[in-house]
Amino acid sequence: MKKNIGKIIILLLVIIIIGAAAVFAIKILNNREKNNEIIDTGKEQNQPIPEVKKVQIVDEDSKTRPYAVMINNNHSAWPQCGVQDAYIVYEIIAEGGITRMMALYKDKNTAKIGSIRSARHYFIDYVNENDAIYIHWGGSPQAYNKLGSIDHLDGIALEGSVFFRDKTLKRAYEHTGFTSMENVKEYSEKKGYTRDTNKELLLNYSAEEIEMDKLEGAKKAETIDIKYSYYHTTSYEYDEENKVYKRSMSGTPNVDLVTGQQYTAKNIIIYCVRNYTINDGEGKGRQELENIGSGSGYLVTGGYVVPITWEKSAHNEQTIYKYTNGEKIVVNDGNTFIQICPMDAKIDIKAPTEPAVKQESEVNETTQN
């Protein structure tokens, strides 16, 4: 009996020892697995996370409304200032063969913009297609008929607060009006204007440089001359090093009043619409623009030009720009000048001039000398 009890005790001890060993082994295995997991996780954490390149010209996630500022483009009002900060600039014919520009600013704090000029009713179509707050100094009767339906700030009513004069300039008084983004933002809030918009950006942007040479119909474009009228020509010349187009007007570099730097464009959209003089009894040559419809045009960027189409279905609707294959255009990350020209404008887009190749006889002659 005692022998049986001893055997049972020994058996129990063996079972206990084996069980303890098993538990110990399981713990070791679990610890190893945990260590492996930690090591693997560590490896993943140490792996560099690929950086997603973001568009810089505008914050594509921002829902703030832009400000659309009327820029004086009378030759006597040059140079302007603050235009380089705009992400889109429209240039359209006005009376007397001159053009007027409208610069769009979004999430910028530009200190001095102008000089500012009066509103024109057809520019309001482009204010509305961007859901912008319109900044102007006066306006035509046709413009004032439409201004009541949009958010706007008028220099005639707000001189000395939102708008100011630069009396140091040696130019006509009407060419000395300016504003700042700080001023227009503060007063827009005071007026209770809505700051957010549900409207999408007018253009699609690529954070990476577009391979323009692979697009259908692409041709090299080194210089662009757009003759709006006998009085005014807008020109661009490609700066290959910086991949932008340097802007000139009527043979004069378009430089900034404050910085002295020549304005540049990353992208240029060019198309023509019919314009004609309004018979309003005042004889001032004010223009009407037939901009509802569709047509063809050009996109210039990265040293190339491609054919595009445009379509605007209503005054408040966005202009849709497409490649000839029907897909919406994508522009490079940078500012865009939209050149809306008269139907009779002369548009000259030239490729780089190839260097002359010496003839064999010239080479031999040079060698002999």
Report pLDDT digits (tens) over 54-70.
Answer: 899 999 889 999 999 99
Whole domain around residue 149: which residue ranges?
A: 67-350
In a domain, 193, yes or no: yes
Q: Give residue 88's region: left, alpha or beta (phi > 0; psi -120 to 50).
A: beta
In a domain, 362, yes or no: no
Torsion angles phi and psi, residue 118, rounded to 5:
-80, 160
* Residue 354 CB neighbour total at 10 angstroms: 6
In a domain, 24, yes or no: no
pLDDT, tens digit, 9 for 90 and up, residues 128-155: 999 999 999 999 999 999 999 999 999 9
Give the CATH number for residue 101: 3.50.90.10
Give the 3-state secondary structure of residue 184. Answer: helix
* Among 55, 107, 106, 78, residue whose Cα is nearest residue 263: 78
pLDDT, tens digit, 9 for 90 and up, residues 4-26: 565 666 655 556 666 555 555 55
H or E, element range at 146: helix 141-147
Average pLDDT over residues 42-48: 58
Instruction: Compare 29 and 212 and report the one with higher pLDDT.
Output: 212
pLDDT, tens digit, 9 for 90 and up, residues 267-288: 999 999 999 999 988 888 999 9
Q: How is residue 314 written in tokens?
A: 């209503």
In a domain, 291, yes or no: yes
In a domain, 273, yes or no: yes
Report, in this order, helix, strand and coil percent for the chain, each rounded to 5: 25, 35, 40
Task: Give the predicted TM-score (pTM) of the model.
Answer: 0.83
pLDDT at 123 over 50: yes
In a domain, 28, yes or no: no
Structural domains in the chain (count): 1
Residue % of the chain over a pLDDT of 70: 82
In a domain, 319, yes or no: yes
Residues composing the chain: 369
Q: How far apart are CA 95 and CA 71, in angstroms?
A: 15
In a domain, 20, yes or no: no
